[in-house]
Amino acid sequence: MILNENQSIVNTYLASASLTLVVLLFSWVYWNKRPPNSPPGSNGFPLLGAILSLTSFPQRALTKLGKKYGPIYMVYFGNTAVVVLGNPETAHEAFAKNDCFNDRPQTIPILCSGKGLIMINASDFQREQRRFNLHALREFGMGRKKLEGRLVDVSRQLCKTIDDLCGNSGTSKPFPINEMIYQSISSVISYIIFNHDVTVDDEVFGSLLKEMTETKKENILSGVLMFAPKLKYLPFFSKMWRKSGEFRDKIEEKIKEEVLSHQKSHDRNNPRDFIDCFLNEMNNFSSSKSSGQINKNCDQSDEMNRSYSWQSSSSFTIGQLISSVRDLFMAGTETTASTICWIILFLSHYQDVQEKMQKEIDEEVSRLRPTVPLSVPHMASRDAILNGYVIPKGAIILTNIWGIQHDESRWPEPEKFLPERHLDNDGKFNKSSNWMIFNLGLRNCLGQQLAKMELFIATVSLFQKFSFALPPGTTPDMEGEPQVTLRPNLFEVIATRR
Ligand code: HEM
């Protein structure tokens, strides 16, 4: 009797074990099925996909997978298809020759409000806004001589602060430099947008600048949400998602105050800044209900008249203004400031290179540490063919900028800091088409001209006046913290007047 009972328990166990095995086998086979003719790659673990490989340094993990699968491959994060582009030719094919990879997945909560510039889908609305923003940034100096004066002033101010720290001895004690750099760079874009500086004392902008310099574990994980959006349904990530959204609302509320105060003193014939230009455009629409009329109030040069071709339309609303300001402030501060911090860190570490020429140093550091290492994610707006492969509608498209900048077939000994690789045999600066830290195509970086000016003027001023060194006995962290952007961790330097 007891024997029979035991036998039946064993049978039950065996039956459930076999059933579990069959279910697992079927889910494995089902999970690993890939759409016909999709790019190479693996589906990873059921439900998780390749997500576990991304927790510490996603761009290195994705570059390793690129070595296995080639310049275009598709993995799954959860059940979201993610296509990774790993060389400039594929990125060119995707973004310059195709028009269907320019949407954005809604994966960066601090930038996602359905409005603004960075995370809105490609559309007539987006193109009109991008054109307007480019125009307004140029109007207030991007890529032009007239901004240079402002940049020189900001750099001078920064040098003065460091000079004070050097005191009579000419050499400072170790001091953290990150926040100083962020503050200076934010003041350039602040003047373009608000016609005044924002300070660290301001509750909202101050904490935003602090948030940008800090590298908290929480922020690093929020970088993973950028390409694994479904994680936001898990408790830990959902809290992070909500907090990020709340912070975005706070920033927008603060910007709204700025807009209201601009409205009070607005003179349409004398636009002072980006906000005034936008308000002019809004007024134009409400007064003319867009009869194709072009607003020339903030447009002075012939060159700009030629490119000033959008028509005033209802895409110019207060909500859109607020979100555009948020995007410009954030994109215009964090990326450039991080790059300058990287430059100081690399040059403090590689003293012998510090005396070499400037331009190739800028290029080499941003090659080694591209501050937007996986670009801003794009999204396929329809099923499409890329490099002969089927890319499903809704797939997230990542350009592995980090991988492209570390590809040994294009950059021999890619991990080495060799600024001279950007010089030709005659010692002249040699621009390589493999250097693409701003990505390519219709959604590439809107502020790249401004960024290049800022990098050049700020770093030339700093290194003309000071030599920087790391405090003796410290080992710098040259890896940084990968988030949406790649920032250096806080570090201290010693400045010495030259
Ligand atoms: C070293 C500095 C910078 C780097 C490395 C950088 C890099 C990038 C990258 C990789 C993208 C995504 C391109 C794509 O999705 O195809 C981007 C987008 C963008 N950047 Fe930058 N950026 C920098 C500075 C700036 C500055 C100074 C501004 C503001 C004035 C700015 C404004 C923007 C905007 C608005 C977009 C979104 C463009 C769109 O979606 O149409 N960036 N940037």
Task: Say which residue, 232 or 261, is predicted with more confidence.
Answer: 261
- Look at residue 202 in the predicted model and tell me its pLDDT: 77
Q: Of all protein residues, whose CA lies closest to atom 1 belonging to ligand 1?
A: 336
313-340 pLDDT tens trace: 578 999 999 999 999 999 999 899 999 9
pLDDT above 50 for 300: no
- Look at residue 2 in the predicted model and tell me its pLDDT: 56
- Look at residue 1 in the predicted model and tell me its pLDDT: 54
Report the largest interatomic distance among the alpha carbons of the chain, rounded to a whole angstrom: 101
- Look at residue 309 in the predicted model and tell me its pLDDT: 41
- Look at residue 109 in the predicted model and tell me its pLDDT: 86
Task: Say which residue, 86 or 297, is predicted with more confidence.
Answer: 86
- Look at residue 298 in the predicted model and tell me its pLDDT: 35
Scan for tokens 């960075």, then name that residue. 118
Q: Which of 110, 119, 193, 335 to mutate to test the pocket of ligand 1 (most atoms within 8 A of CB)?
A: 335
Residue 384 has phi, psi (to 5 degrees) of -155, 165
Read off the pLDDT of each residue in 177-188 and give the average, rounded to a whole number. 91
Tell me if 331 CB under 6 Å of ligand 1.
Answer: yes
- Look at residue 439 in the predicted model and tell me its pLDDT: 95
**Helices 318-349 and 448-465: angle between axes, nearest 10 degrees:** 40
Count of residues in the chain: 498
Helix ranges (H only) for 116-234 are 124-139, 145-166, 178-194, 203-213, 217-225
Helix (H, G, I), strand (E, B) or coil at 469: strand
Tell me if 438 CB under 6 Å of ligand 1.
Answer: yes
Tell me if 333 CB under 6 Å of ligand 1.
Answer: no
Q: Which of 379, 445, 485 to mutate to test the pocket of ligand 1 (most atoms within 8 A of CB)?
A: 445
pLDDT above 50 for 440: yes
- Look at residue 305 in the predicted model and tell me its pLDDT: 35
| Percentage of the chain exceeding pLDDT 90 | 43
Rg (CA), the chain: 26
pLDDT above 80 for 398: yes
Tell me if 372 CB under 6 Å of ligand 1.
Answer: yes
Tell me if 398 CB under 6 Å of ligand 1.
Answer: no
**Cβ contact 326:248 at 8 Å:** yes
Q: Are strands 384-386 and 389-391 parallel, antiparallel or unpaired?
A: antiparallel
pLDDT above 90 for 120: yes
pLDDT above 80 for 373: yes
pLDDT above 70 for 430: yes
- Look at residue 289 in the predicted model and tell me its pLDDT: 52
Task: Compute the distance between CA of residue 18 and CA of residue 20 in angstroms, rounded to an integer.
Answer: 5
The mean predicted confidence, pLDDT, of the chain is 84
Q: Which of 95, 438, 455 to mutate to test the pocket of ligand 1 (most atoms within 8 A of CB)?
A: 438
Token pair for 360: 């190739």
The answer to which of 10-24, 149-163, 469-483 has the lowest mean pLDDT is 10-24
266-280 pLDDT tens trace: 998 889 999 999 999
**What distances in angstroms separate CA 472 from CA 164, 185, 316, 476, one per listed residue?**
21, 28, 54, 11
